Chain A
Amino acid sequence: MNIIGPDYLVFGVDDLVACSEFLTAFGLTPAGVDDKGGLFEALDGTGVIIRHKSDPDLPAPLPTATMLRQQVYGVRGDADIEAIAAELGKDRKVHRLADGTIETTDDFGFALKFQVTKRRKLEMPAEKINAPGAPAQRGPNVLGVWDGMPAKPRMLSHTVLFVPDIEVATGFYCQRLGFVITDVLKGAGPFLRPKDNDDHHTLFFIRTPEYMKGIEHLAFHMGGPTELMVAGSRFVKSGYESFWGPGRHKFGSNWFWYFNSPLGTHFEYDADMDKHDDEWIAREAPFGPEASQMFLLQHREKWVPGPGPAPKE
Protein backbone atom coordinates (compact mmCIF):
# COMPACT_ATOMS: atom_id res chain seq x y z
CA MET A 1 0.00 0.00 0.00
CA ASN A 2 2.12 2.84 -1.29
CA ILE A 3 0.35 5.87 0.14
CA ILE A 4 2.39 9.02 -0.54
CA GLY A 5 0.47 11.62 1.46
CA PRO A 6 -2.37 14.12 1.20
CA ASP A 7 -2.96 15.39 -2.35
CA TYR A 8 -5.92 17.61 -1.43
CA LEU A 9 -7.94 18.61 1.62
CA VAL A 10 -11.56 19.44 0.79
CA PHE A 11 -13.53 22.01 2.82
CA GLY A 12 -17.19 23.04 2.87
CA VAL A 13 -17.06 26.72 3.80
CA ASP A 14 -19.57 29.45 4.57
CA ASP A 15 -17.75 32.26 2.74
CA LEU A 16 -16.14 31.33 -0.58
CA VAL A 17 -14.98 34.90 -1.26
CA ALA A 18 -13.19 35.20 2.08
CA CYS A 19 -11.60 31.76 1.69
CA SER A 20 -10.43 32.54 -1.86
CA GLU A 21 -8.84 35.74 -0.62
CA PHE A 22 -7.16 33.94 2.26
CA LEU A 23 -5.83 31.00 0.24
CA THR A 24 -4.43 33.26 -2.47
CA ALA A 25 -2.78 35.56 0.07
CA PHE A 26 -1.31 32.50 1.80
CA GLY A 27 0.52 31.80 -1.45
CA LEU A 28 -1.60 29.14 -3.14
CA THR A 29 -2.59 29.46 -6.80
CA PRO A 30 -6.19 29.08 -8.01
CA ALA A 31 -6.41 26.23 -10.53
CA GLY A 32 -9.74 26.13 -12.33
CA VAL A 33 -11.56 28.02 -9.58
CA ASP A 34 -15.04 29.36 -10.38
CA ASP A 35 -17.91 30.80 -8.34
CA LYS A 36 -18.53 27.36 -6.84
CA GLY A 37 -14.97 27.15 -5.55
CA GLY A 38 -12.20 24.84 -6.63
CA LEU A 39 -8.55 23.96 -6.06
CA PHE A 40 -5.91 26.29 -4.65
CA GLU A 41 -2.62 24.58 -5.28
CA ALA A 42 0.97 24.65 -4.06
CA LEU A 43 3.81 24.51 -6.56
CA ASP A 44 3.57 20.70 -6.89
CA GLY A 45 -0.20 20.69 -7.52
CA THR A 46 -1.25 19.49 -4.05
CA GLY A 47 -3.53 21.85 -2.15
CA VAL A 48 -6.89 22.83 -0.72
CA ILE A 49 -10.27 22.49 -2.44
CA ILE A 50 -13.12 24.71 -1.27
CA ARG A 51 -16.86 24.42 -1.98
CA HIS A 52 -19.82 26.07 -0.33
CA LYS A 53 -20.92 23.99 2.67
CA SER A 54 -24.30 23.40 1.01
CA ASP A 55 -22.73 21.99 -2.20
CA PRO A 56 -24.44 18.61 -2.76
CA ASP A 57 -21.26 17.16 -4.30
CA LEU A 58 -19.45 17.32 -0.95
CA PRO A 59 -19.30 14.31 1.38
CA ALA A 60 -21.51 14.70 4.47
CA PRO A 61 -20.21 17.05 7.19
CA LEU A 62 -19.11 15.87 10.62
CA PRO A 63 -21.53 16.99 13.38
CA THR A 64 -18.97 19.46 14.77
CA ALA A 65 -17.61 22.91 13.92
CA THR A 66 -15.05 21.51 11.48
CA MET A 67 -15.35 22.51 7.82
CA LEU A 68 -13.15 19.61 6.63
CA ARG A 69 -15.22 17.42 4.32
CA GLN A 70 -12.69 15.03 2.78
CA GLN A 71 -9.02 14.08 2.80
CA VAL A 72 -7.75 13.00 -0.61
CA TYR A 73 -4.70 10.76 -0.39
CA GLY A 74 -2.33 10.25 -3.29
CA VAL A 75 -1.00 6.74 -3.90
CA ARG A 76 1.66 5.51 -6.30
CA GLY A 77 -0.42 3.41 -8.71
CA ASP A 78 -3.63 1.55 -9.53
CA ALA A 79 -2.45 -1.54 -7.65
CA ASP A 80 -2.36 0.52 -4.46
CA ILE A 81 -5.95 1.65 -5.01
CA GLU A 82 -6.94 -2.00 -5.41
CA ALA A 83 -5.09 -3.01 -2.25
CA ILE A 84 -6.77 -0.26 -0.21
CA ALA A 85 -10.20 -1.12 -1.65
CA ALA A 86 -9.70 -4.80 -0.75
CA GLU A 87 -8.53 -4.04 2.78
CA LEU A 88 -11.12 -1.41 3.70
CA GLY A 89 -13.89 -3.28 1.86
CA LYS A 90 -13.70 -5.94 4.57
CA ASP A 91 -15.69 -3.86 7.04
CA ARG A 92 -17.06 -0.76 5.29
CA LYS A 93 -18.50 0.47 2.03
CA VAL A 94 -15.90 1.54 -0.51
CA HIS A 95 -17.31 3.50 -3.43
CA ARG A 96 -15.56 3.21 -6.75
CA LEU A 97 -15.78 6.31 -8.93
CA ALA A 98 -15.64 6.38 -12.72
CA ASP A 99 -12.23 8.04 -12.67
CA GLY A 100 -10.65 5.07 -10.87
CA THR A 101 -10.59 6.69 -7.43
CA ILE A 102 -12.24 5.24 -4.31
CA GLU A 103 -14.11 6.91 -1.46
CA THR A 104 -14.82 5.68 2.04
CA THR A 105 -14.66 6.85 5.68
CA ASP A 106 -12.29 6.14 8.55
CA ASP A 107 -13.43 4.79 11.91
CA PHE A 108 -14.54 8.24 13.13
CA GLY A 109 -16.48 9.20 10.01
CA PHE A 110 -13.80 11.38 8.39
CA ALA A 111 -14.36 11.09 4.63
CA LEU A 112 -11.39 9.73 2.67
CA LYS A 113 -10.60 9.46 -1.00
CA PHE A 114 -7.68 7.65 -2.60
CA GLN A 115 -6.34 8.50 -6.05
CA VAL A 116 -3.21 7.84 -8.07
CA THR A 117 -1.34 10.95 -7.00
CA LYS A 118 -1.71 14.02 -9.18
CA ARG A 119 1.23 15.83 -7.63
CA ARG A 120 3.91 17.10 -9.98
CA LYS A 121 7.54 16.27 -9.37
CA LEU A 122 9.31 19.37 -8.10
CA GLU A 123 12.85 20.18 -9.07
CA MET A 124 13.84 23.23 -7.07
CA PRO A 125 16.84 23.98 -4.87
CA ALA A 126 16.45 24.04 -1.09
CA GLU A 127 17.44 27.13 0.81
CA LYS A 128 21.23 27.38 0.78
CA ILE A 129 23.31 28.49 3.75
CA ASN A 130 26.95 29.27 4.36
CA ALA A 131 28.83 28.24 7.50
CA PRO A 132 32.49 28.18 8.49
CA GLY A 133 34.04 24.74 8.12
CA ALA A 134 31.65 23.63 5.40
CA PRO A 135 31.78 24.26 1.66
CA ALA A 136 29.84 27.39 0.74
CA GLN A 137 26.35 26.52 -0.50
CA ARG A 138 26.01 30.04 -1.90
CA GLY A 139 29.12 31.00 -3.78
CA PRO A 140 30.50 34.51 -4.32
CA ASN A 141 27.90 37.15 -5.21
CA VAL A 142 24.90 34.85 -4.66
CA LEU A 143 22.50 36.64 -2.31
CA GLY A 144 20.53 35.00 0.51
CA VAL A 145 17.63 37.46 0.61
CA TRP A 146 16.27 40.22 -1.57
CA ASP A 147 13.12 42.33 -1.76
CA GLY A 148 10.42 40.50 -3.68
CA MET A 149 12.07 37.08 -3.25
CA PRO A 150 9.68 34.19 -3.89
CA ALA A 151 8.22 32.41 -0.86
CA LYS A 152 5.49 30.11 -2.14
CA PRO A 153 4.19 26.94 -0.50
CA ARG A 154 5.76 24.03 -2.35
CA MET A 155 3.75 21.02 -1.18
CA LEU A 156 0.87 20.06 1.11
CA SER A 157 2.81 18.65 4.05
CA HIS A 158 0.58 17.30 6.79
CA THR A 159 -2.78 17.24 8.51
CA VAL A 160 -3.52 17.26 12.23
CA LEU A 161 -6.82 15.84 13.38
CA PHE A 162 -8.74 16.12 16.64
CA VAL A 163 -9.90 12.55 17.32
CA PRO A 164 -11.72 11.06 20.32
CA ASP A 165 -9.67 7.84 20.57
CA ILE A 166 -5.97 7.55 19.73
CA GLU A 167 -5.92 3.73 19.73
CA VAL A 168 -8.75 3.56 17.22
CA ALA A 169 -7.07 6.22 15.07
CA THR A 170 -3.65 4.56 15.02
CA GLY A 171 -5.26 1.15 14.55
CA PHE A 172 -6.99 2.33 11.41
CA TYR A 173 -4.14 4.27 9.84
CA CYS A 174 -1.29 1.92 10.88
CA GLN A 175 -2.82 -1.56 10.76
CA ARG A 176 -5.19 -0.97 7.86
CA LEU A 177 -3.33 1.57 5.74
CA GLY A 178 0.30 0.90 6.61
CA PHE A 179 1.24 4.20 8.26
CA VAL A 180 4.23 4.16 10.63
CA ILE A 181 4.51 5.94 14.00
CA THR A 182 7.62 8.12 14.05
CA ASP A 183 7.27 9.75 17.49
CA VAL A 184 4.65 10.12 20.23
CA LEU A 185 3.67 13.10 22.33
CA LYS A 186 2.06 11.36 25.30
CA GLY A 187 -1.17 13.06 26.31
CA ALA A 188 -1.77 14.27 22.75
CA GLY A 189 -0.95 11.55 20.23
CA PRO A 190 1.39 10.04 17.65
CA PHE A 191 3.08 11.40 14.52
CA LEU A 192 2.52 9.19 11.48
CA ARG A 193 4.06 8.87 8.04
CA PRO A 194 2.70 6.70 5.25
CA LYS A 195 4.88 3.95 3.80
CA ASP A 196 5.80 5.78 0.63
CA ASN A 197 6.83 9.07 2.29
CA ASP A 198 9.96 9.66 4.35
CA ASP A 199 8.77 12.95 5.93
CA HIS A 200 8.66 12.78 9.74
CA HIS A 201 4.89 13.12 9.59
CA THR A 202 2.02 13.67 7.21
CA LEU A 203 -0.52 13.05 9.98
CA PHE A 204 -0.73 13.78 13.69
CA PHE A 205 -3.55 13.11 16.13
CA ILE A 206 -4.63 15.07 19.19
CA ARG A 207 -7.03 13.34 21.55
CA THR A 208 -10.07 15.51 22.27
CA PRO A 209 -13.71 15.09 23.27
CA GLU A 210 -16.07 13.85 20.55
CA TYR A 211 -17.61 17.30 20.05
CA MET A 212 -14.25 18.67 18.87
CA LYS A 213 -13.69 16.04 16.17
CA GLY A 214 -12.23 17.71 13.10
CA ILE A 215 -9.11 19.23 11.67
CA GLU A 216 -6.74 21.14 13.98
CA HIS A 217 -4.39 22.37 11.29
CA LEU A 218 -2.88 21.70 7.91
CA ALA A 219 0.60 22.61 6.76
CA PHE A 220 2.51 23.37 3.59
CA HIS A 221 6.24 22.83 3.09
CA MET A 222 8.29 25.91 2.23
CA GLY A 223 11.76 25.98 0.65
CA GLY A 224 13.49 26.69 3.95
CA PRO A 225 13.28 28.71 7.16
CA THR A 226 13.96 31.99 5.37
CA GLU A 227 11.08 31.46 2.94
CA LEU A 228 8.88 30.57 5.92
CA MET A 229 9.82 33.79 7.72
CA VAL A 230 9.41 35.88 4.57
CA ALA A 231 6.00 34.39 3.74
CA GLY A 232 4.78 34.70 7.35
CA SER A 233 6.03 38.28 7.73
CA ARG A 234 4.30 39.31 4.52
CA PHE A 235 1.12 37.58 5.67
CA VAL A 236 1.12 39.44 9.00
CA LYS A 237 1.84 42.72 7.25
CA SER A 238 -1.24 42.14 5.07
CA GLY A 239 -3.39 41.92 8.21
CA TYR A 240 -3.67 38.14 8.70
CA GLU A 241 -3.73 36.75 12.24
CA SER A 242 -0.74 34.84 13.56
CA PHE A 243 -1.72 32.07 15.99
CA TRP A 244 1.60 30.44 16.99
CA GLY A 245 5.14 31.03 15.85
CA PRO A 246 7.48 31.39 14.20
CA GLY A 247 9.40 28.67 15.95
CA ARG A 248 10.93 25.25 15.47
CA HIS A 249 9.37 22.00 16.63
CA LYS A 250 11.43 19.33 18.35
CA PHE A 251 9.78 16.18 16.94
CA GLY A 252 10.20 16.52 13.17
CA SER A 253 12.63 19.47 13.58
CA ASN A 254 10.40 21.49 11.26
CA TRP A 255 10.15 25.24 11.51
CA PHE A 256 6.56 26.38 11.98
CA TRP A 257 4.31 29.41 11.79
CA TYR A 258 0.53 28.99 12.26
CA PHE A 259 -2.25 31.35 11.19
CA ASN A 260 -6.01 31.55 11.77
CA SER A 261 -8.18 31.06 8.68
CA PRO A 262 -11.79 31.40 7.50
CA LEU A 263 -11.73 27.63 6.88
CA GLY A 264 -12.05 27.00 10.63
CA THR A 265 -8.55 25.54 10.98
CA HIS A 266 -5.00 26.77 11.27
CA PHE A 267 -2.82 27.05 8.21
CA GLU A 268 0.85 26.38 8.88
CA TYR A 269 3.95 27.21 6.91
CA ASP A 270 6.56 24.54 7.70
CA ALA A 271 10.13 24.02 6.56
CA ASP A 272 13.07 21.67 6.88
CA MET A 273 11.37 18.60 8.35
CA ASP A 274 13.35 15.48 9.36
CA LYS A 275 13.31 12.41 7.12
CA HIS A 276 12.98 8.87 8.47
CA ASP A 277 13.14 5.28 7.31
CA ASP A 278 12.07 1.98 8.85
CA GLU A 279 15.24 1.84 10.97
CA TRP A 280 13.96 4.73 13.10
CA ILE A 281 12.77 3.92 16.63
CA ALA A 282 9.92 6.17 17.78
CA ARG A 283 10.64 8.52 20.70
CA GLU A 284 8.18 9.54 23.39
CA ALA A 285 7.84 12.79 25.29
CA PRO A 286 5.08 14.20 27.50
CA PHE A 287 2.94 16.70 25.59
CA GLY A 288 3.57 20.29 26.65
CA PRO A 289 5.34 23.50 25.65
CA GLU A 290 8.83 22.13 26.36
CA ALA A 291 8.48 19.03 24.20
CA SER A 292 6.61 20.85 21.49
CA GLN A 293 9.22 23.34 20.42
CA MET A 294 12.96 23.99 20.46
CA PHE A 295 12.27 27.71 20.55
CA LEU A 296 9.33 30.06 20.02
CA LEU A 297 9.54 33.59 18.66
CA GLN A 298 6.92 36.24 18.09
CA HIS A 299 6.58 38.59 15.16
CA ARG A 300 7.03 42.31 15.71
CA GLU A 301 7.00 45.23 13.37
CA LYS A 302 10.29 46.08 11.73
CA TRP A 303 12.52 48.19 13.97
CA VAL A 304 16.13 49.30 13.90
CA PRO A 305 18.32 50.55 16.74
CA GLY A 306 20.38 52.98 14.63
CA PRO A 307 22.96 55.27 16.17
CA GLY A 308 20.66 56.45 19.00
CA PRO A 309 19.82 60.06 19.77
CA ALA A 310 22.28 62.67 18.55
CA PRO A 311 24.58 63.93 21.33
CA LYS A 312 23.44 67.20 22.92
CA GLU A 313 25.48 70.19 21.84
Chain B
Amino acid sequence: MRLCRLDEVLDGQARGFSVPGLQRKVILVRRGVSVFAYRDSCPHYEGGTPMAWKADRYLNGEGTHLACHSHGALFEIETGECVLGPCLGQRLTKVPVRISPSGDIEMVREPAEEELG
Protein backbone atom coordinates (compact mmCIF):
# COMPACT_ATOMS: atom_id res chain seq x y z
CA MET B 1 0.00 0.00 0.00
CA ARG B 2 1.42 3.39 -1.06
CA LEU B 3 1.74 5.99 1.71
CA CYS B 4 3.38 8.90 -0.13
CA ARG B 5 6.37 9.82 -2.25
CA LEU B 6 9.81 9.88 -0.56
CA ASP B 7 10.16 13.59 -1.35
CA GLU B 8 6.89 14.31 0.47
CA VAL B 9 8.67 13.60 3.77
CA LEU B 10 11.40 16.21 4.22
CA ASP B 11 14.82 15.03 5.37
CA GLY B 12 14.94 14.98 9.16
CA GLN B 13 11.15 15.33 9.45
CA ALA B 14 8.27 13.03 10.34
CA ARG B 15 4.74 12.64 9.00
CA GLY B 16 1.71 10.66 10.11
CA PHE B 17 -0.58 8.76 7.75
CA SER B 18 -4.04 7.37 8.37
CA VAL B 19 -4.29 3.91 6.79
CA PRO B 20 -7.76 2.51 6.08
CA GLY B 21 -8.39 -0.36 8.48
CA LEU B 22 -5.60 0.55 10.91
CA GLN B 23 -6.65 1.92 14.29
CA ARG B 24 -3.55 4.07 14.64
CA LYS B 25 -1.68 6.18 12.12
CA VAL B 26 1.65 5.13 10.62
CA ILE B 27 4.58 7.48 11.37
CA LEU B 28 7.29 7.90 8.73
CA VAL B 29 10.61 9.49 9.71
CA ARG B 30 13.14 10.29 7.02
CA ARG B 31 16.89 10.41 7.51
CA GLY B 32 18.52 11.05 4.12
CA VAL B 33 17.39 8.23 1.86
CA SER B 34 16.39 6.01 4.80
CA VAL B 35 12.81 5.88 6.03
CA PHE B 36 11.78 4.46 9.41
CA ALA B 37 8.14 3.58 10.04
CA TYR B 38 6.27 2.91 13.28
CA ARG B 39 2.71 2.75 14.50
CA ASP B 40 1.59 5.99 16.16
CA SER B 41 1.09 4.19 19.44
CA CYS B 42 3.08 4.89 22.61
CA PRO B 43 3.60 1.63 24.55
CA HIS B 44 3.24 3.35 27.96
CA TYR B 45 -0.46 2.49 28.29
CA GLU B 46 -2.14 -0.76 27.28
CA GLY B 47 -3.58 -0.41 23.80
CA GLY B 48 -1.21 2.46 23.00
CA THR B 49 -1.94 6.19 22.71
CA PRO B 50 -1.27 8.72 19.93
CA MET B 51 2.08 10.47 20.24
CA ALA B 52 2.04 13.77 18.30
CA TRP B 53 1.20 17.12 19.88
CA LYS B 54 -0.17 18.31 16.55
CA ALA B 55 -0.60 16.76 13.12
CA ASP B 56 2.82 15.45 11.92
CA ARG B 57 4.65 16.79 15.02
CA TYR B 58 6.24 13.56 16.28
CA LEU B 59 9.85 14.60 16.92
CA ASN B 60 11.42 16.24 19.96
CA GLY B 61 12.59 19.86 19.65
CA GLU B 62 16.10 18.96 18.50
CA GLY B 63 14.75 16.48 15.94
CA THR B 64 16.96 13.75 17.37
CA HIS B 65 14.23 11.39 18.63
CA LEU B 66 10.65 10.38 18.14
CA ALA B 67 8.79 11.72 21.16
CA CYS B 68 5.53 10.85 22.84
CA HIS B 69 3.97 14.18 23.70
CA SER B 70 1.95 12.63 26.53
CA HIS B 71 4.81 12.51 29.03
CA GLY B 72 7.89 13.35 27.00
CA ALA B 73 9.14 9.80 26.34
CA LEU B 74 11.95 9.69 23.75
CA PHE B 75 12.45 6.85 21.24
CA GLU B 76 15.44 6.15 19.00
CA ILE B 77 14.47 6.85 15.42
CA GLU B 78 16.42 3.88 14.03
CA THR B 79 15.24 1.22 16.51
CA GLY B 80 12.07 2.59 18.14
CA GLU B 81 13.49 1.85 21.59
CA CYS B 82 12.39 4.14 24.44
CA VAL B 83 15.52 5.67 25.98
CA LEU B 84 13.84 8.15 28.39
CA GLY B 85 10.41 8.32 29.94
CA PRO B 86 7.60 6.16 31.31
CA CYS B 87 8.03 3.29 28.82
CA LEU B 88 11.80 3.02 29.28
CA GLY B 89 13.17 -0.07 27.52
CA GLN B 90 9.95 -0.75 25.57
CA ARG B 91 9.72 -0.29 21.81
CA LEU B 92 7.47 1.26 19.25
CA THR B 93 5.93 -1.22 16.81
CA LYS B 94 7.80 -1.21 13.51
CA VAL B 95 5.82 -1.02 10.29
CA PRO B 96 7.59 -2.69 7.35
CA VAL B 97 7.96 -0.23 4.47
CA ARG B 98 10.00 -0.08 1.26
CA ILE B 99 10.85 2.58 -1.26
CA SER B 100 9.76 1.59 -4.75
CA PRO B 101 11.98 2.22 -7.81
CA SER B 102 9.70 5.13 -8.70
CA GLY B 103 10.25 6.76 -5.28
CA ASP B 104 7.04 5.78 -3.51
CA ILE B 105 7.05 4.76 0.16
CA GLU B 106 4.93 1.64 0.46
CA MET B 107 3.81 -0.55 3.35
CA VAL B 108 5.24 -4.00 2.60
CA ARG B 109 2.09 -5.85 3.59
CA GLU B 110 -1.54 -5.14 4.28
CA PRO B 111 -2.50 -4.71 7.96
CA ALA B 112 -2.95 -7.97 9.87
CA GLU B 113 -6.39 -8.90 11.16
CA GLU B 114 -5.54 -8.04 14.78
CA GLU B 115 -4.43 -4.56 13.75
CA LEU B 116 -7.79 -3.69 12.23
CA GLY B 117 -9.85 -1.38 14.40
Smallest beta-carbon distance A208→chain B, Å: 7
Chain B residue, CB-CB nearest to A242? B50
The answer to whether the Cβ of B72 comes within 8 Å of any Cβ in the partner chain is: yes
Q: Which residues of A contact B61 (CB under 8 A)?
A: 13-15, 18, 262
Chain A, interface size: which category?
20 to 34
The answer to whether the Cβ of A293 comes within 8 Å of any Cβ in the partner chain is: no
Report Cα–Cα, A18/B84, bound state, in Å: 21
The answer to whether the Cβ of A212 comes within 8 Å of any Cβ in the partner chain is: yes
Contact (A14, B50) CB under 8 Å given A239-B55, A264-B71: no
Q: Which residues of B contact A264 (CB under 8 A)?
A: 67, 69, 71-72
Q: Is the CB of B70 within 8 A of A266?
A: yes
Q: Is the CB of B53 within 8 A of A214?
A: no
Q: Which residues of B contact A173 (CB under 8 A)?
A: none
Smallest beta-carbon distance A50→chain B, Å: 11
Chain B, interface size: which category?
20 to 34
* Cβ-neighbour of A243 out of B50, B54, B72 (below 8 A): B50
Q: Is the CB of B86 within 8 A of A208?
A: yes
Smallest beta-carbon distance A240→chain B, Å: 5
Q: Is the CB of A14 within 8 A of B60?
A: yes
Question: Which of B21-51 touch A at CB < 8 Å?
Answer: 49-51
Report Cα–Cα, A67/B67, bound state, in Å: 13
Q: Which residues of B contact A22 (CB under 8 A)?
A: 53-54
**Per-residue contact bits, chain A 5-25, to B (CB 8 Å; 1 contact, 0 not):** 000000001110010001000
Report Cα–Cα, A260/B58, bound state, in Å: 11
Q: Which residues of A contact B105 (CB under 8 A)?
A: none
Contact (A260, B69) CB under 8 Å given A65-B85, A239-B55: yes
Q: Is the CB of A260 within 8 A of B50?
A: yes
Question: Which of B59-117 touch A at CB < 8 Å?
Answer: 60-62, 67-74, 84-86, 88
Contact (A66, B70) CB under 8 Å given A22-B53, A240-B54, A260-B52: no
What are 22 residue pairs bridging A and B, where the CB atoms are less than 8 Å apart in the complex? A14-B60, A14-B61, A14-B62, A15-B61, A18-B61, A22-B54, A65-B85, A208-B86, A239-B55, A240-B54, A241-B50, A241-B52, A241-B54, A259-B53, A260-B52, A260-B53, A260-B70, A262-B53, A262-B69, A264-B67, A264-B69, A266-B70
Identify 16 new A-B residue pairs, CB closer than 8 A, beyond the known A65-B84, A66-B71, A162-B86: A14-B61, A65-B86, A67-B72, A212-B85, A214-B71, A238-B54, A240-B53, A241-B54, A260-B52, A260-B68, A261-B53, A261-B69, A262-B53, A264-B67, A264-B71, A266-B70
**A residues bordering B, Cβ < 8 Å?**
13-15, 18, 22, 64-67, 162, 208, 211-212, 214, 216, 238-241, 243, 259-262, 264-266
